[in-house]
């Protein structure tokens, strides 16, 4: 398994990206108490490659040239595959947790598929939602319109190679879809299991390693269903804690790997250190 950093931008936040329904001062106070800058942060944007031994599976494709973080500050995946030991034509399967621009932007490069030999997999509910024409009637300055437009240029042309998943489906042996709806209508996470050990790749079940976990009930700006997103965070964090799962978390600080533990009324992100060396 190889995590690849797709962007290194420092942006405003975490409020209102996390804590949209809270006073800005409450989020800034949490940052201050956590020894972090109060109004600027550096999210991870972290696609994951899994070599199963028989297939090379890529989870999400980063920003590409059209995502949330434009080049040169983002869209690094295409150039980072070779240092990671792979080339785009080696990728067999691309799994999309959802269809936001920072996850599907890297599907195309200069109008052509970056991964010429790949099959694709995405949640059936997710694909059907973005395929509806009324998505393009959303506010043209908003995230929904931007996502719908990119969906049509980057994913629809690949439709004949797309497999539509439902929760519980196996992508390949050892990789299983897990429902985590709310951030988008068909957002999926994935269990990745090998030799009795399991990792949870949770996509966008968190947008900040402190604020999202300390207060999973706080609304997230990019969640399309705020209450469902909050409920999913609580359920997924409970699962990660109870099962002591290693987690690959797209927006955590790179390398975006860690564990979850309970803390006070919420949770705490514990970045990986030497656990995987033993």
Q: What are the chain's domains?
A: 2-277 (3.60.15.10)
Judged against a pLDDT cut of 90, whether residue 209 lies above it is answered with yes
Four-point Cα dihedral 204, 208, 213, 219, nearest 10: -70
Q: Which of 242, 245, 239, 241 is nearest to 268 (CA)?
A: 241
Give the Å distances, CA to CA, from 215 to 30, 117, 185: 10, 42, 22
**What is the arithmetic mean of pLDDT over 104-108?**
98
Instruction: Name the pTM for this structure.
Output: 0.97
**CB-count exposure of residue 254 (10 Å: 0-12, 13-18, 19+):** middle
Quickly tell me which residue has 């690849």 as its tokens: 4
With bands split at pLDDT 50, 70 and 90, how would you rate the model's confidence at 196? Answer: very high
Q: What is the pLDDT of residue 100?
A: 98
Please name the residues in contact with 141: beta carbons below 8 A apart, sequence gap of 6 or more: none
Q: What is the pLDDT of residue 55?
A: 97
With bands split at pLDDT 50, 70 and 90, how would you rate the model's confidence at 221? Answer: very high
**What is the arithmetic mean of pLDDT over 110-138?**
96
Dihedral sign of CA atoms 250, 202, 1, 108 in order: negative
Contact 101, 155 (CB under 8 A): no
Judged against a pLDDT cut of 90, whether residue 278 lies above it is answered with no
Dihedral sign of CA atoms 25, 30, 31, 32 in order: positive
**What is the arithmetic mean of pLDDT over 8-28?**
98
Judged against a pLDDT cut of 90, whether residue 140 lies above it is answered with no
In a 13 Å sphere around the CA of 106, the CA atoms on its Cβ side amount to 31
With bands split at pLDDT 50, 70 and 90, how would you rate the model's confidence at 29? Answer: very high
> DSSP label at 14?
S
Quickly tell me which residue has 């002591």 as its tokens: 244
pLDDT in tens, 38-85: 999 999 999 999 999 999 999 999 999 999 998 999 999 999 999 999
Judged against a pLDDT cut of 90, whether residue 141 lies above it is answered with no
Q: What is the pLDDT of residue 178?
A: 98
Q: What is the pLDDT of residue 138?
A: 86
Lowest-pLDDT range, 60-69, 136-145, 258-267? 136-145
Helices 124-131 and 143-154: crossing angle in degrees, nearest 10, is: 100
Helix (H, G, I), strand (E, B), or coil: what is residue 29?
helix
**What is the arithmetic mean of pLDDT over 179-208?**
97
């Amino acid at each position: 398994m190889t995590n690849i950093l797709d962007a290194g931008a420092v942006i405003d936040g975490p409020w209102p990206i996390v804590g949209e329904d809270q006073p800005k001062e409450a989020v800034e106070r949490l940052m201050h108490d956590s020894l972090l800058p109060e109004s600027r942060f550096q999210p991870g944007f972290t696609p994951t490659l899994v070599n199963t031994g028989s297939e090379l599976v890529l989870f999400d494709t980063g920003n590409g040239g059209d995502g949330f973080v434009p080049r040169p500050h983002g869209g690094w995946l295409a150039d980072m595959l070779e240092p990671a030991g792979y080339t785009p034509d080696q990728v067999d399967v691309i799994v999309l947790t959802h269809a936001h621009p920072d996850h599907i932007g890297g599907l195309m490069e200069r109008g052509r598929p970056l991964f010429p030999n790949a099959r694709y997999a995405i949640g059936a509910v997710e694909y059907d939602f973005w395929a509806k024409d009324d998505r393009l009637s959303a506010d043209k300055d908003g995230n929904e319109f931007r996502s719908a437009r990119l969906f049509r240029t980057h994913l629809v042309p690949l439709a004949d190679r797309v497999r539509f998943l439902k929760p519980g489906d196996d992508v390949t042996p050892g990789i299983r879809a897990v429902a985590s709806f709310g951030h988008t209508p068909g957002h999926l996470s994935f269990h990745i299991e090998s030799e009795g050990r399991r990792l949870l790749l949770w996509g966008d079940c968190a947008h900040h390693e402190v604020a999202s976990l300390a207060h999973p009930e706080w609304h997230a700006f990019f969640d399309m269903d705020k209450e469902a997103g909050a409920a999913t965070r609580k359920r997924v964090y409970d699962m990660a804690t109870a099962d002591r799962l290693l987690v690959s978390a797209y927006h955590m600080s790179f390398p975006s790997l860690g564990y979850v533990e309970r803390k006070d009324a919420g949770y705490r992100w514990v970045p990986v250190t030497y656990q995987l060396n033993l």
